[in-house]
Structure 1
Amino acid sequence: MIYLDVLLLVNFLTAYFLLLAAGLLSGQRAGGGRMLLGSAMAALSSLILFAPEQPFLIQLAYKAGTALLIVAAAFGCRNKRRFATAVCWYAAFNIALAGLVMLVILNTGTRALQTGNLTVYLRVSPLLMVVLSGAGCLAAELGMRLLAGGKALRQSVGLEVELAGVPVHLRAALDTGCHLTDPITCLPVLVVSFPDAAARIPQPVSDYLKAWFDGRAPEQPPEGMKLRLIPCKTAAQSGLLPGFAVGNIGLITAQGVLGLGRTAVAFAPQSFGSERYEALYGQDFL
């Protein structure tokens, strides 16, 4: 007996944890809405268990196609390499979870396994499935933190940003805790310290930001600039950071400037306390 509500709920929660783990290992972090959408699609994809048995190639195409759609819904597919990495990790976690539970079943001799169209239904406690999925996500989180150690802020890169028609060169450091996104495009945001970078910012932009942080910002941003209000939450407080949409942020390399695509730049009112960088970016930025 398969209970439809239990099947959908367990698959939804399991997929949520597995997507979190896949995102961690591929250097991406999705917003809450996208995570819910991807998890819901994963839950619905399990309904093929009730369909008549299909030819193997159709089963394989269905599993591969739904995995691609689920990961695309959660993280998008703008960066092809990271998208492929997330798909592989998501598939690997699914296979590992099913194999782990099947191993327990085979060793205990219980008849609690049902398969159909390459979908495995394990008649075990829903709580066990969710706990194992959460444990896999936690293991990925701990592994990433241990591997990162204390090196994150020592990894810095040169970036080029165009503000008010003027190219601005900044030094940016990796901060694994930086997950700000543009609420309009949902793309990761570069966070710039206004005090540290003020001397490099064009005068109209600098005057606007100074007035903003002094509590007297004009109604209109500098000419040609599109204002963005970036939600920011820290352990101490939450609020909005002023920022601007930019056509492109470029990575400065030995071969020239490599465009990273359209995104936004947010400005923080405090110094980052280092002379080696003026900006911070998250793991999902580059």
Structure 2
Amino acid sequence: MPPIKTVIYLDVLLLTNFALTLLFLLAAGLLAGVECRAGRLLLGGAAGAASSLALLAPEAPDAAALLYKVSTAALTVAAAYGWPGGRCFARLVGWFCAGNLLLAGALLLPGAQTNNGCIYLPLSPGALLAGAGGVVLAVQGVLRFLGRGGGQVFPARLTVADTALDVRAFCDTGFSVQEPLSGRTVVLVRFGAVQSRLPPALGTYLEQHFAGAAPLPVPALGVRLVPCTTVAGHCILPAVPASLCCTGSPAGQARAEHLYAAFADLPPPPDGWEVLVGSETVSSLAHG
């Protein structure tokens, strides 16, 4: 009796894995506390769908297959979330892989086939998507029951000196700073994360300031010095007028106006944020 051959339809394979990748990327973001834009999420889904084509390739050694799976998982996460910092990126990749393994383990049935680290399950696309959706719902349920630790990184657009910067903002409920003369709310910006995107004059001034060569503000740039106290001690930070627009869900295009953006020379944090905001600013975005 000749062996039974499995027929795999390419369009079904790609579309199913595209949808599965979207769900697992969303679950990874929920667990890591990171959001991404819809366009980047679709790009990640496309990368995940393309990686599933290894199922049709000649079988590779186990070590090569493992390397392929890890590298394509990292590329898929990078396509969706970019580089939010080393630790945060590692968490995203880890949760993305865990979601895939959870689905494969939960739905492993007789007749399943593997090749190059990819698994083919004898299930309809609907059953696969329902299983993946169940994983995402389970993650959301756990987070709602246990609560979310710490703040969450969300995509935003910071406007300074008539220049819009797409950034990752992080809400810290313990952060509350005001510009002393105007009383306006201050958001904290990591200078190194936005330095190359700032207007040349402002970027040069800030570079000189943090090098100790420009101690006084420049009126033409609208710079003011803002006192700030952190766990590291007391410091004076240069700040300029700014506005912040939330570009991700659920706030849509809500905007917080009349802010000051204070720049600090800080190393990349674990969560990969570029702008630190307080609860007052987030409240303005939520009701904008």
**TM-score normalized with structure 1 length:** 0.63
Map residues 209-228 of structure 1 onto 2, 5 A cutoff.
222-223=222-223, 225=240, 227-228=242-243
2:52 to 46, 57, 66: 46
Q: CA deviation at 1:117?
A: 1.2
Residue 240 of structure 1 corresponds to 255
Pair 4,262 (structure 1): closer, same or farther in 2 beyond 3 Å:
closer
Conserved 8 A contact 1:246-1:265: no
Which residue among 192, 199, 203 is the counterpart of 2:181? 203
Query: What does residue 196 of structure 2 align with?
Result: none
1:73 equivalent to 2:73? Answer: no
Structure 1 residues 245 and 52: alpha-carbon distance in aligned structure 2, compared to 1, 3 A threshold: farther
Partner residue of 2:31? 25
8 A Cα contact 2:156 2:244, kept in partner: no
Change (3 A) 1:43 1:201: same
Aligned-pair distance for 1:222?
A: 3.4
Q: Tell me the TM-score normalised to structure 2 length.
A: 0.63
Confirm or deny: 8 A CA contact 2:167 2:275 kept in the other structure. no
Structure 1 segment 93-108 matched on structure 2, within 5 A: 93-102=99-108, 105-106=109-110
Question: Aligned residue for 2:246?
Answer: 231
Deviations 1:124-177 (A, max 9, x none): 11011111111101110110111118xx7xxxxxxxxxxxxxxxxxxxxx566x
* Unaligned ranges ≥5, structure 2: 1-6, 159-164, 186-219, 224-238, 284-288
Q: What RMSD, in angstroms, separates the aligned Cα atoms of the two structures?
A: 3.7
Q: Deviations over 1:149-206 (max 9, x none)?
A: 8xx7xxxxxxxxxxxxxxxxxxxxx566x845237333125589xxx86xx3142574
Cα shift at 1:77: 2.8
Q: Distance in 1 between matches of 2:221 and 2:183?
A: 8
Residue 19 and residue 148 in structure 1: after superposition, are their counterparts in 2 closer, same or farther (change >3 A)? same
Distance 1:246 1:201, change over 3 A: closer
Number of residue pairs matched by the alignment: 219
1:43 and 1:52 map into 2 onto residues whose CA distance is: 18
2:62 matches 1:56: yes
Aligned to 2:131: 132
Residues of 1 paired with 2:155 and 2:268: CA distance? 20
The answer to whether the 8 Å contact 1:249/1:263 transfers is no
